[in-house]
Amino acid sequence: MDIVSIRDFSRAQIEHVLDVAERMLPVAKGDEKSKLLDGKVLGSLFYEPSTRTRLSFEAAMARLGGKSLGFDEPKGSSVAKGETLADTIRMVDAYCDAIVLRHPQEGAARLAGHFAAKPVLNAGDGAGQHPTQTMLDLFTIRKSKGKIDGNHVVIVGDLKYGRTVHSLSEALAMFGAQLTFVAPPTLQMPKEHLKHIQSMGIKPKSGTDLTEAVKDADVLYVTRIQKERFPDPAEYQKVAGAFKIDPALLKDAKKDMIIMHPLPRVNEISPEVDKTPNAKYFEQAFNGVPVRMALLAMVLGAVE
């Protein structure tokens, strides 16, 4: 079983992953020990920078008694000599029991899945999808708000190139959450994703006014403008710093609104917000460990 897109999952399957992740929490925190993945090896191939995704996958593997190998920078591997993704995947497939892949090209994880007999987990394919991030985002929402459905989620930032929000908005639509998209006019949610969301009976609002949208939000999901995806640096400069979450913005928000961010943040969230009870982004980053433990255990057949 590969994990390439959030569309590969039903709502019931996602809920099951979150339930398994909940059971993993004591091991994720280091309070209990586990040998569930004893002897298993994860191949971790990161063709793009990563901190949380790579380290939380490796932490997840280690907490379950397994091991990881791979690269965090293709320059040090045969990729620098011109090896194709297909050949690299064929090799790692022979060395490991599962492969986690981050790659700048959309569709790379799906392609890797064709060349690997072992499960492939998509850790981000260009501006495409980031399904394991979505699982930990949903886990965080469910933990903080008690449920996912019925929440009004405002998603702000780079909706055009941001892969986290492509996967997340589709999953939230599956749960029947109310969605508002806030972005500069040039970075609005791509039509293809909007269509998919609408096909599930959700009518998302789209706009550019964050102050207005925040007033009625239960969850504010903030994202970074994806500088590396802009064909023209001048275009990036036009939208950099378009939105800023600071204490002044929060004045009109619901008291129990939670603020999330997949991180890294550049300057979208002022550090003063960190100490407010609304800030959930660091807890969200930790949740990557139990959720990825659950996903690894499931694809490796160690839990149902």
Q: Is 130 in the site for ligand NCD (CB under 6 A)?
A: yes
CA nearest to 42, candidates 102, 111, 119: 119
Q: How big is the site for ligand NCD, counted in residues (CB under 6 A)?
A: 11
- β-sheet bridge partners, residue 51: none
Least gap, CB of 228 to ligand NCD (angstroms): 9
Q: Is 262 in the site for ligand NCD (CB under 6 A)?
A: yes
Q: Is 118 in the site for ligand NCD (CB under 6 A)?
A: no
Query: Dihedral of the CA atoms 121, 9, 288, 56 (nearest 10)?
Result: -10
Least gap, CB of 257 to ligand NCD (angstroms): 21
The 169-208 contact track toward ligand NCD, x by CB under 6 A, reads: ----------------------------------------
Sheet holding 67-71, edge to edge: 67-71, 41-46, 98-103, 120-125
Q: Is 164 in the site for ligand NCD (CB under 6 A)?
A: yes
Least gap, CB of 17 to ligand NCD (angstroms): 17
- 241 by Cβ neighbours in 10 Å (0-12 / 13-18 / 19+) ranks as exposed
Q: Which is closer to ligand NCD, CB of 47 or CB of 175?
A: 47
CA nearest to 85, candidates 42, 40, 118, 46: 46
Contacting residue, 145, 193, 224, 280, with ligand NCD by CB under 6 A: 224
CA nearest to 221, candidates 191, 253, 251, 182: 182
CA nearest to 297, candidates 85, 80, 34: 34
User: What residue has token string 């959720």?
Assistant: 291
Least gap, CB of 117 to ligand NCD (angstroms): 26
Q: Is 263 in the site for ligand NCD (CB under 6 A)?
A: yes
> In terms of DSSP bridges, do strands 219-222 and 120-125 run parallel, antiparallel, or are they unpaired?
unpaired
Q: Is 133 in the site for ligand NCD (CB under 6 A)?
A: yes
Q: Is 128 in the site for ligand NCD (CB under 6 A)?
A: no
Q: Which is closer to ligand NCD, CB of 151 or CB of 164?
A: 164
Least gap, CB of 163 to ligand NCD (angstroms): 5
Least gap, CB of 157 to ligand NCD (angstroms): 8
End-to-end CA distance of the chain: 12
Q: What is the 8-class DSSP label of residue 69?
A: E
List contacts with ligand NCD (CB under 6 A). Answer: 52-53, 124, 130, 133, 163-164, 223-224, 262-263
